[in-house]
Structure formats: C-alpha cells, structure tokens
Structure 1
Amino acid sequence: MPEQLALDIPDAETGTQSPQEVDLAESVLKAAGGDPLVAINSLLADADFLRDQLYTASCIMSSGMARGWKPRYERLL
C-alpha cells in the first residue's frame, strides 16, 4: 500500500482529535486502491510482519523486564 492510512491521532499542539470520525476499513480500502483482495493481502502481510517482530522482541527481552508476561501470537476469540 503506497498510501499512509488516515488515523485519528490527537493534534500535538491542541491535544484534541479532529472532529470527523475516521473509518479504518474505508481507509484500508482507499490505500489499496479500492481492491478488497489487495487490502486483505496487505493486512495479512502486516499481521505476519508484526508477529515476527513480537517473536523477535520476546526472544531478546528478559523475563524479569516483562515480569513473567509472555506474548500471544494469535488473538483469542
């Protein structure tokens, strides 16, 4: 996806969020050029990348730093 997704992040100067609501699903589709398969494939690739980053971080992080916390690689439904 060549475009940055539009997220509703608070303004640094005022600390308030913009008044308009941002639909993340629409933002993802727009970034994928309106193609739902491209959007899904991109989200799956992002999820895989983040799982890899979480695995790497969990390997190098001491258990004392995390106070025994262990990451989950899949969300529970």
Structure 2
Amino acid sequence: MFGLNSKGHQAALLQAYREIFASEQGRRVLADILSTAGAFRASEDIAALAHDNGKRALAFDIVNKASIPEDIINQLMRESFADA
C-alpha cells in the first residue's frame, strides 16, 4: 500500500473519488453533501456565513477531487432550488 502522502496514494484516492461519485448513488450522496453544506445558499448572518463557508469548502473539495463536471453541478444546483 502507499504512504498517505505519496503520489501513488493521492492518485489512487482521486480515482476513488471519481469512481464513487460517478455512480447514480454517488451523485445522490453528493447532492446531499452539497445541500447539507449549504453550497447553493446565501446567508446574511456573519456567524452563520463563516460556519457555512467551512462546510462549503469541504463540499467543493469533494467536488474537485471527484472531477465532477460543471454541468452536473449546475443540475444539482437547479434541483436544490426546485426542492426549496
């Protein structure tokens, strides 16, 4: 197995993200992560904004690692607003 910081480990981890979130179930989980993180919500409360920004950062880190195409993110955003 690879060391946690090795290039091999990082490459394998990114591939795992891509494979997991490419499936229908993975996309469903990603939609929930983005929703829970408030990825498509705005807040005027400073404390809530700081808290939400941390959650958003983690959610979008997952999006980046999984190489989720922009059209899928846009679709998830539209669905998020439709559910609201």
TM-score (norm: length of structure 1): 0.35
Which is helix-richer, 1 or 2? 2
Q: Which has the higher contact order (CA 8 A, sep 6+)?
A: 2
